[in-house]
Amino acid sequence: MKLKPREYARRVQRASPPSPLGKDCLWAFFVGGGICLLGEVLRQWYLAKGLELELAGTLTSCTLVALSALFTTLGLYQKLAAKAGAGSLVPITGFANAVVSAAIEFKTEGRVLGTGAKMFTIAGPVIVYGTLAAVVYGVVLWGMGAMV
């Protein structure tokens, strides 16, 4: 049975459940905002402990990555992502979730060839890009400093 595009679109529209777009957007906004708020609370807490601004920011990032990895391992981050959608893709926690998820998926293949190797399936390109970008920026800045 060959359907014309209009007929196909009409059937898909009729069979698809309605999407609560407004509700989904609000959930994403509040969950993403909540993760960012947690980051700011952590940063302020580290600052209140007397740490320097740069160190407080670094520790905040490390804490968010560790929490994301822990929640992913416990299966809680996936539940949050199912409800919050794009709100859970805040860069630092979303990246940690992606790396840990890939590692967990392949744990049956062993710790080294499964978990260890698959962890870099997603992280590898990011690490390579970060390293190469740092080298390029360093060369450019060094070259600019040499000319001044």
**Structure-token pair, residue 14:** 């009729």
Distance CA(72)–CA(42), nearest Å, equals 20
Is the pTM for the entire model greater than 0.95? Answer: no
Residues 18-42: tens digit of each pLDDT: 778 888 889 889 999 999 999 999 9
Across 37-63, average pLDDT:
95
Least confident of 14-18, 44-48, 139-143: 139-143
- In whole numbers, what is the pLDDT of the chain averaged over residues? 80
Distance CA(141)–CA(21), nearest Å, equals 46
Q: Is the pLDDT of residue 146 over 70?
A: no
